């Protein structure tokens, strides 16, 4: 493929239907769902290698920036640029930000829009359809890829095919919302409908022409947000105030439903948006009894189940068609036919003022990870892992003191006016109100136990004075 094809990976979703694995601060696109190995985002990135494409653009939320950057680094994609949204505004503004940045940096080219959380079993088939779509996009059409439906699915939107085009594909007659089962069955039997994949290919300039025609308010808000953007390494932080004024709209509603240039290319490449636990079960490897398992699982006389054990042994006896997902702080048990209702559980958790919808017990930071292993009245215990060469911010706390005990590696500690090394089986104490910092000067991971004590132990009791990751 020509270098002028610029991939855009949309990585801003939250994936609440895959709770308890997917959380707001660690959503499904950044999790290893297929094969319990590479994350969905990393699979999307690796899908682009070897195709002669430009370095990808990535759109994600500000709060996910370090997850995205670290996973890009691990995937060997060091040239990608990440545009950070302070909050989600749906796909039309996200695509507009990327298009404006592309046209600001280079001449007009093709923009290939790919969600970060989709599974595609036959990737070479996908690229065959993309190549077939390039001449259509060259003619100024806005191409979307419709999935040939395999069954009557109520969890997807649909696209109705119109007239056949000589250059390939069909005119888009209309987009339709997620149907009930009877309507979805009629769609399937008619052969006139495709699943809406959310993948697009078009010239950047043509997209902006149609957006300016139909939604100039979105275009103007995104231009203003980029004009006031801040640049930080591989990040572009759009102006929060300007972007807040941007309407929230999908690209389907904003452009594709209104333009007369929309074309849909039917595609059958083993696609799934992994939008629920049952969808994950469908595309996962299974044993002879139809069970899909990941982790330390023992099954006795069980069939048709999806079982994920993240941290401990999970055993099933006589289970049928169940989803069982174990994490350090929550366990989900659901029938496969009812997994769409997992969102209701997440809403209840949030309404109750709990935190299990936000993050896991293990929390990833740009310097490493911490695991909150115990807490009680006026105390909290964490296991902290700091990557080689990484450093926590120079900070202080108004309400808590901290004891650090090094388990392995060497810590370089700033404690007020003093800086010193703490090695294995040694400890140090940080009083309330003391300015301090923690750094790993070694070449192996630093692991330590942190015991916090005080009247308030929330993560918002951090005053940062200096931070190498731009959080001060």
CATH of the domain at 148: 3.90.550.10
Q: Which of 287, 317, 351 is the last residue of a domain?
A: 351
Q: Extract long-range pairs of 237-246: CB within 8 Å, 24+ residues apart.
A: 237/62, 237/84, 237/86, 238/83, 238/84, 238/85, 238/86, 238/97, 240/86, 243/85, 243/86, 243/87, 243/89, 243/93, 244/86, 244/87, 245/221, 246/89, 246/93, 246/217, 246/218, 246/221, 246/222
| Co-location of 65 and 178 in the same domain | yes
> How high is the pLDDT of residue 3?
46
| Co-location of 20 and 166 in the same domain | yes
| Co-location of 308 and 396 in the same domain | no
Whether 342 shows a pLDDT value over 80: the answer reads yes
Whether 89 shows a pLDDT value over 60: the answer reads yes
Instruction: Read off the pTM.
Output: 0.86
Q: Which of 351, 379, 403 is the last residue of a domain?
A: 351
- Which residue is it, tokens 């994936």? 15
Q: Which one is predicted more confidently, 362 or 419?
A: 419
> How high is the pLDDT of residue 113?
96
> How high is the pLDDT of residue 221?
95
Whether 462 shows a pLDDT value over 60: the answer reads yes
Q: Please indicate, yes or no, if residue 472 is contained in any of the structural domains.
A: no
Average of pLDDT values for 211-235?
Answer: 91
Domain containing 445 — which CATH number? 2.60.120.10
Whether 215 shows a pLDDT value over 90: the answer reads yes
pLDDT tens for each residue of 363-411: 888 899 999 999 999 999 999 999 999 999 999 999 999 999 999 999 9
Work out the percent of the chain whose per-residue pLDDT is above 70.
Answer: 98
Burial class (CB in 10 A: 0-12, 13-18, 19+), 275: buried
| Co-location of 36 and 116 in the same domain | yes
Work out the percent of the chain whose per-residue pLDDT is above 90.
Answer: 75
Q: Which one is predicted more confidently, 73 or 400?
A: 400
Q: Which of 292, 320, 351 is the last residue of a domain?
A: 351
| Co-location of 338 and 400 in the same domain | no
Q: Please indicate, yes or no, if residue 429 is contained in any of the structural domains.
A: yes
pLDDT band at 175 (very low <50, low <70, confident <90, very high): very high
| Co-location of 154 and 232 in the same domain | yes
Whether 107 shows a pLDDT value over 80: the answer reads no
Q: Please indicate, yes or no, if residue 334 is contained in any of the structural domains.
A: yes
> How high is the pLDDT of residue 47?
87
Sequence-ordered alpha helix ranges (H) in 228-305: 240-244, 251, 277-283
| Co-location of 157 and 232 in the same domain | yes
Domain extent at residue 315? 279-351
Q: Please indicate, yes or no, if residue 471 is contained in any of the structural domains.
A: no
CA distance 93 to 224: 12
Q: How many CB atoms lie within 10 A of CB 289?
A: 12
pLDDT tens for each residue of 279-292: 999 999 999 999 99
Q: How many domains, the chain?
A: 3
């Amino acid at each position: 493929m020509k270098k002028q094809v610029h991939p855009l990976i949309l990585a801003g979703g939250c994936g609440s239907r895959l709770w308890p694995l997917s959380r707001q601060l660690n959503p499904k696109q950044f999790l290893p769902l297929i094969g319990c190995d590479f994350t969905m985002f990393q699979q999307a990135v690796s899908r682009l290698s070897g195709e002669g494409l430009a370095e990808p653009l990535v759109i994600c939320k500000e709060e996910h920036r370090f997850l995205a950057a670290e996973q890009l680094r691990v995937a060997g994609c060091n040239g990608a640029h990440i545009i950070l949204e302070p909050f989600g505004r749906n796909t039309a503004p996200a695509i507009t930000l990327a298009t404006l940045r592309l046209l600001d940096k280079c001449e007009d080219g093709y923009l290939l829009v790919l969600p970060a959380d989709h599974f595609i079993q036959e990737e070479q088939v996908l690229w065959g359809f993309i190549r077939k779509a390039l001449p259509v996009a060259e003619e100024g059409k806005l191409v979307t890829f419709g999935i040939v439906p395999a069954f009557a699915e109520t969890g997807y939107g649909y696209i109705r095919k119109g007239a056949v085009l000589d250059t390939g594909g069909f005119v888009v007659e209309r987009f339709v919302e997620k149907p009930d089962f009877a309507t979805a069955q009629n769609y399937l039997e008619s052969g006139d409908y495709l699943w809406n994949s959310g993948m697009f290919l078009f010239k950047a300039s043509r997209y902006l022409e149609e957006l300016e025609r139909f939604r100039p308010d979105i275009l103007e808000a995104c231009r203003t947000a980029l004009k006031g953007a801040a640049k930080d390494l591989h990040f572009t932080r759009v102006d929060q105030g300007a972007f807040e004024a941007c309407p929230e709209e999908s690209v389907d509603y904003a452009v594709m439903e209104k333009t007369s240039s929309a074309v849909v290319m039917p595609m059958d490449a083993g696609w799934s948006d992994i939008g629920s636990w049952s969808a994950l079960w469908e595309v996962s490897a299974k044993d002879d009894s139809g069970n899909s398992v990941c982790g330390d699982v023992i099954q006795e006389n069980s069939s048709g189940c999806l079982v994920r054990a993240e941290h401990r042994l999970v055993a099933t006896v006589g289970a049928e068609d169940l989803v069982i997902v174990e994490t350090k702080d929550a366990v989900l048990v659901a029938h496969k036919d009812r997994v769409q209702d997992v969102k209701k559980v997440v809403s209840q958790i949030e309404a109750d003022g709990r935190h299990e919808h936000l993050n896991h017990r293990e929390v990833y930071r740009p310097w490493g990870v911490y695991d909150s292993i115990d807490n009680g009245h006026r105390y909290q215990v964490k296991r902290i892992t700091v990557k080689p060469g990484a450093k926590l911010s120079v900070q202080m706390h108004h309400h808590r003191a901290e004891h650090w005990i090094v388990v392995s590696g060497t810590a370089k500690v700033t404690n007020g006016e003093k800086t010193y090394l703490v090695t294995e089986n040694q400890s140090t104490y940080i009083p309330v109100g003391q300015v301090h910092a923690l750094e790993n000067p070694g070449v192996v991971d630093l692991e330590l136990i942190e015991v916090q004590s005080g009247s308030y132990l929330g993560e918002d009791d951090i005053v940062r004075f200096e931070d190498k990751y731009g959080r001060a």
